[in-house]
A and B are shown apart, each in its own frame.
Chain A
């Protein structure tokens, strides 16, 4: 057995960065306040001291330049890892990501490659309100040429980060602020969690929940409660949203006959719709015993007030209730 320790999600990311930078001169970090400050959420703390200013580059507040910098460096032989301080700010990088990075290889007839990772924390729960709480992952899912990765725990965070850095494509790496302090057993050595492969953190026969990011943890908690009621939930974490491992999800729904999709991002135009459409168009359709249900963030900006933000995104009790109703046939016969 390889040696594991409990590390937080942030520590696991940092360890992955530190190890790959030690091994591969092509990897460097670039972003706002990632050096002396250690990153707004501390992910890169200490790396400036170890690797110096050339490889841990604190930028001015220039999100378009950060995205362009990782793209340009990757096109010319490097494997940069950029950080967008809050996922909200990636709106200022959209042109470089969507029109340049995502298209450069296809547009040039497959003759260029852009191996970079752009990390960014998404999600609400820190009281930072509407402009620091966005979950915009599905914007990037909608752009062919980008890969979209969303780790839900410390183990996956390190393994997916290393796999993303070693991948030859641009990867939008979506972290979650509420996960940074969560712990898991993480091997000391370098390892990759393969991209485009779902994990199944809990098996069950009664109902499938497909959840992303922090909602995986909440779904697992909900599944514990439901298990005590005799409802066995299978939880699937896509981990890579695009390109998607559809087969694992379809196979699970074939087995359980019921599908609940849970994500924090707003429902309209969200990733859940994509999952629902793919399952409905698959062989799993004939096995469905109930309508496919989505439990998502409300279609509003994230509010500031504590009492308002709580119901704005799915909580454990909402997942329990939705899953229970779905399992018990409450949505059948509409």
Chain B
């Protein structure tokens, strides 16, 4: 008997896909393709000299972005993002046109061209922005948590940060505050294993960043960040606890960035073999395969969706390129309310 073409889905994945429904599951997959294509285009634009500054690409981490965002009430809950945040903004419901326009510094961008790649926010959807400072969002998250508590809503705040940020003092101060006051904050550590060139193994004397949760007497969860289902489950559990008034959770989501830290990175700190090994754990086909196994996606639709992503990104680029530069006369705008 020939091997079945698709793997059998485990019961949990099957149940989650039923919870998502085919339409949302396909939207999640499409978002992952859109993110990857956006990032590839961003890199290409940089190489063509069409943009300046730096950028931090999240290729390889799309599953983490989509799994975490979709577990929350996107647009109603709060999000604080990190510097490698293009994917998270898209997963939170941001759209490609103002994203690309911001990347190119145009007036039609999410931040009117003032923020750029590292500072994309969508305030009207409670996305309080990506952050150029490692760990910069962590103390802010505690404040959002206090606000939610005092306003007596059942919102939560998810703060995203990397392995590097877990060694900032802000990590300790913020989680401690959230813990003593049971703040509805989800500390989502996207561990891509390198803080620029500093390997996680050298920067921590614990095996798991999530082990640090015990120091704050809060739950710590370790998940495969390239598994959309595992990420979704962990964030969902954390959100339920937070909404019930049971306080914060520290989630460590293990993933890997395929590209360097930023444009200037020669990647002397890791081997090609390591990168290749992680590329085999690509989160996108893993999720696509699950959809196919569940009968929510036909094999030949994968290419259709990838093509659609290219179309979305090209449309966004066309929009961004046709958009005006900010007026010099507006330079002082937005400093004070």
Contact = CB atoms under 8 A, between A and B. Distances in A.
A124 B132 CA distance: 36
Nearest to B111: A109
Interface size class for chain A? 35 or more
B128 interface: yes
B123 A108 contact: yes
B142 interface: yes
B141 interface: yes
B119 A108 contact: yes
A72 B337 contact: no
A178 interface: no
A99 B119 contact: no
Nearest to B129: A108
A76 B334 CA distance: 18
Contact of B110 (A104, A109, A167, A243): A109
Contacts, number: 155
A70 B110 CA distance: 24
B335 to A, nearest CB: 5
Interface stretch (B16-24, B167-175, B263-271): B167-175
A91 interface: no
Given A99-B136, A100-B133, A69 B146 contact: yes
A168 B337 contact: yes
A293 interface: no
Interface string B66-102: 0000000000001010000000000000000000000
B148 interface: yes
A271 to B, nearest CB: 19
Given A109-B110, A112-B128, A71 B150 contact: no
A110 B109 CA distance: 12
B133 A99 contact: yes
Contacts of B139: 64-65, 67-69, 71-72, 96
Contact of A109 (B113, B141, B149): B113
Interface stretch (A51-59, A180-188, A317-325): A51-59
B114 interface: yes
A145 interface: yes
Interface string A126-159: 0000000000000000001101000000000000
A68 B136 CA distance: 9
B109 A144 contact: no
A78 B147 contact: yes
B140 A75 contact: yes
B176 interface: yes
A107 B143 contact: no
Contact of B133 (A54, A95, A115, A169): A95
B144 interface: yes
A28 B111 CA distance: 30
B151 interface: yes
B169 A64 contact: yes
A60 B121 contact: no
Contacts of B333: 110
A145 B335 contact: yes
Contacts of A95: 133, 136, 170
B110 A54 contact: no
A170 to B, nearest CB: 10
Contacts of A25: 150
A21 B192 CA distance: 44
A65 B146 contact: no
4 interchain residue pairs of minimum CB distance: A68-B139, A72-B143, A110-B334, A109-B112
19 contacts: A64-B139, A64-B173, A65-B176, A68-B139, A73-B147, A76-B78, A76-B148, A78-B147, A95-B136, A96-B170, A99-B133, A100-B136, A104-B129, A107-B114, A108-B123, A111-B123, A167-B337, A168-B336, A168-B337
Interface of B: 78, 80, 109-115, 119, 121, 123-124, 126, 128-129, 131-133, 136, 138-151, 157, 169-170, 173-174, 176-177, 180-181, 333-337
